[in-house]
Structure 1
């Protein structure tokens, strides 16, 4: 609005009793953005690692679909956590939660049979308490509160 040379100061000169109220949507967005920076970065990196593992391999995607069918989950793709849209992380985390069993199954097999270091790292992440289903559900709940 501009306290010194902006529109607010010019209108104040014309009408000294003017009350200026900032945009509540903008203020809420700034609060939510700041709050999201306080969430653990590990969760976003973990989601990125999972996405990157499958992103360039149709073979791995097919194997994941087989694990999803075996775990009686609806076969879907892993979502990409956008860097510019922090709210997209909610959908990504929800997708990971929906496929927790099949992802664990897939990465156990990929580590044990193929001995892939990246699969081992993600499997350790799936077993990490920070990335536990309960912790991720708390993040999704916080995100839902921020959105409302």
Structure 2
């Protein structure tokens, strides 16, 4: 099934998004898609009002990264509608933004999340042990949520599931002689929970700004949130404070 949506402006209701057709497409080539789009617009007589084409950032839709190809939907639509503007998938752009930002963190967050999840996935004995550890540190056990690289913003729920039982996970992995070195180094770092909290807040900024009723992003006033929080983090967490926390054995949630 191939859905066709239009975004338009109404003086009465503002910006609206409507499904104008749902077609049982016989293929996914650029030629087939262009014909379906053109047919739907001609049917409703809105072809003269077309301003932009928005779609997934796939090769079939936009060609290469510079949009210089000719065998794609955008190029072929421009032959029919000169001056057409190409708009990539906003959700994927936001995903990539968050992904690039995470690459600057002092650890590979994707690797950590995947390793923690896979360590317990389908291993009931390990889960049972983790539950006992959580009980010993007075933490209510919560099941870990998996993560797929195809949708980077899905990382939010995975990181949040780790933070909910962070002290239990830390106790579990630091006490297990078979813990992978990468996880051992991560949980030995006194700043590990702080970085995860920081990451969760940033992921929340990107995901919680959806306007559900209109299915579009509302990033108003959030463009400086990341900078403000990072600046505060950089100024507050000094090497001296970290050393003091370690010497005094300050609990992570009290730092």
TM value normalised by structure 2: 0.46
Higher normalized helix content (fraction of residues): 1
Aligned partner of 2:142 among 68, 76, 79 = 76
Aligned partner of 1:143 among 177, 185, 203 = 203
- Bigger relative contact order, structure 1 or 2 (CA pairs below 8 A, ≥6 apart): 1
- The answer to whether structure 1 residue 11 and structure 2 residue 81 are counterparts is yes
1:92 aligns with 158
Higher normalized strand content (fraction of residues): 2
Change in 2 beyond 3 A, CA 1:35/1:144 = same
Per-residue CA deviation, residues 50-87 of structure 1 (Å, 9 max, x unaligned), is: 11222242111001011122222222222211122212
Q: What is the aligned length?
A: 134
**Distance (whole Å) between structure 2 residues aligned to residue 33 and residue 75 of structure 1:** 29
Mapping of residues 50-69 of structure 1, within 5 Å: 50-69=116-135
**Runs of 5+ consecutive residues of structure 1 not aligned to the other structure:** 13-18
User: Over alpha carbons, which structure has the higher Rg?
Assistant: 2
Aligned Cα RMSD in Å? 2.6
Per-residue CA deviation, residues 80-134 of structure 1 (Å, 9 max, x unaligned), is: 1112221221111111111111011111221xxxx2142x5423211236x6111
